[in-house]
């Protein structure tokens, strides 16, 4: 595995490497990331992982400075799994102020975008830059960031990028908590309580599968049960898997998504639901 910090070296290394499969990350890797890298291995002769904490996607007062940076440990985990780790500095990625950015579709202003204005523009912009640098045939993103995956699929489709996007399943801890680098911000007591987010989504899923169709009532119940346990809820929303809009009547491929704060930590999770009928 080769660790590369500069754009020039990356381009030289990858010049003769197709097909490349790519996993963009912000580092602090956990089992969920490693799963994505293993999926990438099935799709490319050369597997590239980027590690870059992208300032463009963090708002004022968010955790950009605090975000865990663990390059050495990340490289140790990737040894034997990835061929190239691209870990540029902020100056390498943004040698001049990034005054041209991607404006994502309106859906990016809902759900997480409502609480984090500009977040998906920052994500889409850095991912487009990374795609241009790595020029992968395949790129793998986690379904844990469901709205991000949707925005990236739109980016690829609307800008005609010749890249196949693959969504990797969310990896969970034994109690059901979705793995996330931000879980380490939780105190021991909060970590114990954090499982309630995925349990709440399971309850919504069970109700939908049992035939309940009043999605607004299910969202409200979920929101209230989280709030009663001390969570500050940004949203609980039942949406269409395909569009992330409110489901059309009779639509069966749904997803329930939620974002909520436990103490100072904002956690997100989602569950796909395929209704029978
Ligand atoms: O999901 C992430 O880790 C980041 O949002 C990404 C896709 C690497 C862009 O910075």
Domain identity same for 46 and 88: yes
Domain identity same for 227 and 98: no
Q: What is the pLDDT of residue 276?
A: 87
As annotated, the active-site residues are 33
Does residue 174 lie in a domain region?
Answer: no
8-state DSSP, 79: B
Tell me the pLDDT tens digit for each residue of 74-132: 999 999 999 999 999 999 999 999 999 999 999 999 999 999 999 999 999 999 999 99
Q: What is the pLDDT of residue 79?
A: 97
Question: Which atom of ligand 1 lies closest to the CA of 50?
Answer: 8
Instruction: Specify the CATH number for the domain of residue 232.
Output: 3.30.1300.10
Site to probe by mutation for ligand 1, drawn from 74, 122, 126 as the one with most ligand atoms within 8 Å of Cβ, is 126
Tokens matching residue 84: 């190239």
Does residue 94 lie in a domain region?
Answer: yes
Q: Closest Cα to atom 8, ligand 1: which residue? A: 25
Based on the structure, what is the number of domains in the chain?
2
Backbone torsions φ then ψ of 250, nearest 5 degrees: 85, -5
Domain identity same for 84 and 216: no
Domain identity same for 58 and 17: yes
Q: Closest Cα to atom 3, ligand 1: which residue? A: 25
Three-state SS for 106?
helix
Sites in the chain below the pLDDT cut of 50: none
- List, chain by chain if needed, residues with CB within 6 Å of any ligand 1 atom: 24-26, 54, 57, 123, 126-127, 145, 148
Domain identity same for 134 and 222: no
Instruction: Give me the residue label for tokens 């499982």.
Output: 195
Tell me the pLDDT tens digit for each residue of 72-86: 999 999 999 999 999
- Residue where a domain stops, chosen among 138, 168, 198: 168
- Residue where a domain stops, chosen among 112, 141, 168: 168
Compute the distance from residue 102 Cα to the ligand 1 centre, in Å. 15
Question: Among 259, 270, 263, which residue's Cα sits nearest to residue 186?
Answer: 263
Given a contact cutoff of 8 angstroms between Cβ atoms, the answer to whether 63 and 46 are in contact is no
Domain identity same for 160 and 205: no
Does residue 175 lie in a domain region?
Answer: no
Question: Among 128, 65, 47, 117, which residue's Cα sits nearest to residue 93?
Answer: 128
Q: What is the pLDDT of residue 18?
A: 81
Domain identity same for 96 and 233: no
Domain identity same for 13 and 105: yes
Question: Which atom of ligand 1 lies closest to the CA of 26?
Answer: 3
- Residue where a domain stops, chosen among 136, 168, 200: 168
Q: What is the pLDDT of residue 198?
A: 98
What is the C-alpha to C-alpha distance for residues 71 and 73, in angstroms, rounded to an integer?
Answer: 6
Does residue 2 lie in a domain region?
Answer: no
Q: How many residues does the chain have?
A: 277
Question: Which atom of ligand 1 lies closest to the CA of 152?
Answer: 7
Q: Which H/E stretch holds residue 13?
A: helix 7-14
Contacts of 200 (CB under 8 A, 6+ apart): 222, 225, 226, 236, 258
Which range marks the domain in which residue 142 is found? 7-168
Domain identity same for 105 and 216: no
Q: Closest Cα to atom 6, ligand 1: which residue? A: 25
Domain identity same for 153 and 226: no
Instruction: Specify the CATH number for the domain of residue 152.
Output: 3.40.50.620
Three-state SS for 142?
strand
Work out the number of other CB atoms within 10 angstroms of the CB of residue 132: 10
Compute the distance from residue 123 Cα to the ligand 1 centre, in Å. 6
Domain identity same for 119 and 209: no
* Single pTM value for the model: 0.97
Domain identity same for 164 and 199: no
């Amino acid at each position: 595995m080769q660790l590369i910090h500069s754009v020039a070296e990356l381009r030289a290394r990858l010049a003769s490497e197709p097909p490349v499969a790519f996993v963009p990350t912000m580092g602090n890797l956990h089992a969920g990331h490693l799963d994505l890298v293993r999926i990438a291995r099935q799709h490319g002769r050369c597997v590239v992982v980027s590690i870059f904490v992208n300032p463009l996607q963090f708002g004022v007062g968010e955790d950009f400075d605090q975000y865990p940076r663990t390059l050495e440990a990340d490289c140790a985990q990737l040894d034997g799994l990835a061929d190239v780790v691209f870990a540029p500095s902020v100056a390498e990625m943004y040698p001049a102020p990034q005054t041209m950015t991607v404006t994502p579709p309106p859906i990016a202003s809902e759900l997480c975008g409502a609480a984090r204005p500009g977040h998906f523009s920052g994500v889409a912009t850095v991912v487009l830059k990374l795609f241009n640098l790595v020029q992968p045939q395949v790129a793998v993103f986690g379904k844990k960031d469901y709205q991000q995956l949707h925005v990236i699929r739109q980016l690829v489709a609307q800008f005609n990028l010749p890249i196949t996007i693959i969504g990797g399943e969310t990896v969970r801890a034994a109690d059901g908590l979705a793995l996330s680098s931000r879980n380490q911000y939780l105190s021991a007591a909060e970590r114990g309580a954090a499982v309630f987010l995925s349990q709440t989504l399971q309850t919504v899923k069970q109700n939908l599968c049992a035939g309940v169709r009043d999605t607004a009532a299910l969202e409200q119940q979920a929101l209230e049960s989280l709030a009663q346990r001390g969570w500050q809820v940004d949203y609980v929303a039942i949406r269409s898997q395909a569009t992330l809009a409110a489901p059309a009547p009779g639509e069966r491929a749904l997803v329930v998504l939620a974002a909520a704060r436990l103490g100072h930590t904002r956690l997100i999770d989602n569950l796909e639901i395929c209704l029978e009928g």
